[in-house]
Structure 1
């Protein structure tokens, strides 16, 4: 079966087309098992509704010798994202921030070293600024902070485009997985 390349015509930003194509469907980023056609993991339906609208890789303003990745995602708050009060659940906000920071990290590594590097979460720190209700339109802006040999970090701001206010912000730190050496006890 031949797959059709994703439509990247609506994705702005200066990232190369191969980076935009990879990030155009965020569900592929989460398919580490290679079983996405048969196994839909946690949050798959939420990720599938994310619309990537911008992917950029550019020089950092404060550190011109370094580059940063930036990804902007839009989505609408739907029923599977809210708690009983019909506002977005904090756990859902955390999940979206986790996913979108990973998109920014992938944009940078794909755009600079040509591949997505595997990494796992070390810390995810979130501030909740304002509630966002069922039906609101969100704009999630994620930017890398640091990318080193083993550690990666990125920040995200989640905005309500409906009410022009910051809903949540977060900083995510990830590490490359360990090599699987046998511990010396």
Structure 2
């Protein structure tokens, strides 16, 4: 674990320091007020154990005129993440993929346009490949797929570093909410 959440020396990648600093403490994404107020909501304990190890903004290999955000997170499977069989719960994996795709989207928008864009989930598609047991070390790799207009999408792979195998993967599509307007009713 890192000594300080404001320390970015352990974070690899080419993203600007301000992007790494924002993502160094994953609980910053719990500021749902937008006013720097930490809300200890659902999954706070899990988020607080995530360690961001890489933040990058790269040219997309398939679309060289576009860029992609990439964030790598490490964490250990702990008691509050498992079901009765002592394997990571599918709901917990969905939560981790939801959060980590948001990290990649945030890295891209902060690194390119300088702001964190607020968005909400439209779809989250998951695939479960193999179990991860209590105590296993996980590496979560998230990369943006497309960003345009109001739509954002990213993919995440959850790897067991303990057994060198893919645990789960997912694709997350998010939208920027429309601004409230005058009702037409």
TM range (shorter): over 0.9
**SS of residue in 1 equivalent to 2:21:** helix
Tell me the distance in 2 between the aligned counterparts of 1:20 and 1:161.
Answer: 23
TM-score (norm 2): 0.94
TM superposition score normalised by structure 1 = 0.94
User: Which residue does 1:152 correspond to in 2?
Assistant: 152
CA shift for structure 1 position 29? 1.2
Unaligned runs of 5+ in 1: none
Name the structure 2 match of 1:9.
Answer: 9
> For residue 141 of structure 1, what is the aligned residue in structure 2?
141
Question: Does structure 1 conserve the Cα–Cα contact (< 8 Å) formed by 2:30 and 2:40?
Answer: no
Match of 2:82 in 1: 82
Name segments (4+ residues, structure 1) moved above 2 Å: 181-185
SS at match of 1:21: helix
**Superposed counterparts of 1:1-185, under 5 Å:** 6-33=6-33, 34-36=36-38, 39-185=39-185
Tell me, in whole angstroms, the C-alpha distance in 1 between the residues paired with 2:138 and 2:183: 44
Unaligned runs of 5+ in 2: none
CA-atom RMSD, angstroms? 1.2
CA contact (8 A) 2:55 2:70 kept: yes
- Decide whether aligned partners of structure 1 residues 78 and 66 sit closer, same or farther in structure 2, where only a CA change above 3 A counts: same
